[in-house]
């Protein structure tokens, strides 16, 4: 989808992009090989050609951070197919005082939990984040990332970011992550069925004050599901958005790594 996207060009919005597509200009290569495009002056066509060539070079270099700067946040879902193998699915847990207790990370088929007073640190977060080209969250724009920035002020999030909460609203879904999982057929293990953020706080308190290993295990199982289940949800949402765009693409996910 990214090589069919013209919204990264200055002054080009969805309407203009649709006009390009309707003229048969549906990819960057098509744009560059088409001499005259309706509605574009010679000078503007030359400017856009240069921008597209730069985007192609950055794509070839696997430079996702370039697109984090040039593509508006609402369009960064278009990067998903390209970056899926290098995506990090992130979710945090907090205690009753708003302190981060767990940062869950799922990428390349592996779940990692960074836990307060154990493995959670600025250095470790930087190390983990640096390995991935895309962040995927649910409500990360309004909760997870602002909380992480507040706790670790020197932490940089320079990758593109896809917030599935906003995309879900765009697609007509309502409710939180667990409700949308049920609507899309994504399941959780029986031990954490019906678990909520409040339950996660209680499990943390039981671990912190009583050293209840079972409570710690439940908390981490809940956080792992919050991270791992973002991948099939992102897959489903991406396919729906591509279909809604009107472009004919047949990409299908190959399952979890």
Residue 7 and residue 75 in contact, taking contact as beta carbons nearer than 8 Å: yes
How many Å from the N-terminal Cα to the C-terminal Cα in the chain? 21
- H or E element, residue 102: strand 100-107
Nearest one of 158, 93, 143 to 120, comparing CA atoms:
93
Helices and strands, number each (H, E), in the chain: 12, 5
C-alpha span between 148 and 199 (Å, rounded)? 21
Q: What six digits make up the tokens of 234?
A: 């992102």
Mean pLDDT in order along the chain per 10 residues (257 residues) = 95 94 94 93 96 98 97 96 98 96 98 97 96 98 97 93 97 95 94 93 96 97 98 97 80 54
C-alpha span between 187 and 124 (Å, rounded)? 30
C-alpha span between 59 and 51 (Å, rounded)? 12
Beta partners for 106? 89, 111
**Tell me, what's the pLDDT at 137?**
98
**Tell me, what's the pLDDT at 248?**
65
CB half-sphere exposure, 152, CA atoms < 13 A: 16
Nearest one of 163, 141, 171 to 245, comparing CA atoms:
171
User: What are the structural domains of the chain?
Assistant: 2-61 (1.10.150), 82-238 (3.30.420.10)
C-alpha span between 76 and 134 (Å, rounded)? 10
Buried b / exposed e over 27-59, threshold 16 CB at 10 Å, is bbebbeeeeebeebeeeebeebeebbeebeeeb
> How much is the CA Rg of the chain, to the nearest whole Å?
21
Q: What six digits make up the tokens of 133?
A: 């080209």
C-alpha span between 136 and 138 (Å, rounded)? 7
Residue count of the chain, please give it.
Answer: 257
- Cα-based distances in Å from 204 to 101, 155, 210, 216, 222: 8, 24, 10, 7, 11
């Amino acid at each position: 989808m990214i090589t069919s996207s013209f919204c990264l060009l200055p002054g080009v919005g969805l309407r203009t992009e649709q006009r390009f597509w309707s003229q048969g200009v549906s990819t960057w290569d098509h744009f560059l090989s088409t001499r005259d495009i309706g509605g574009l002056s010679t000078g503007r066509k030359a400017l856009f050609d240069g921008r597209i060539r730069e985007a192609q070079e950055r794509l070839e270099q696997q430079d996702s951070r370039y697109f984090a700067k040039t593509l508006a946040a609402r369009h960064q879902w278009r990067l998903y197919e390209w970056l899926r193998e290098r995506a990090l699915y992130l979710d945090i847990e907090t205690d009753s005082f708003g302190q981060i207790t767990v940062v869950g990370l799922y990428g390349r088929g592996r779940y990692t939990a960074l836990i307060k007073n154990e493995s959670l640190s600025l250095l470790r977060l930087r190390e983990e984040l640096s390995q991935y080209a895309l962040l995927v969250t649910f409500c990360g724009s309004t909760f997870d990332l602002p909380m992480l920035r507040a706790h670790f002020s020197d932490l940089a999030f320079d990758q593109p970011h896809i917030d599935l909460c906003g995309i879900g609203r765009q697609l007509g879904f309502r409710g939180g992550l667990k409700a949308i999982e049920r609507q899309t057929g994504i399941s959780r293990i029986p031990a954490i069925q019906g678990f909520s953020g409040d339950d996660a706080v209680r499990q943390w308190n039981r671990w912190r004050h009583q050293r209840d290993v079972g409570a710690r295990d439940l908390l981490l199982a809940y956080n792992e599901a919050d991270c791992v289940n973002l991948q099939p949800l992102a897959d489903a949402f991406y396919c729906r958005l591509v279909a809604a765009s009107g472009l004919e693409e047949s990409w299908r996910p190959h399952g979890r790594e």
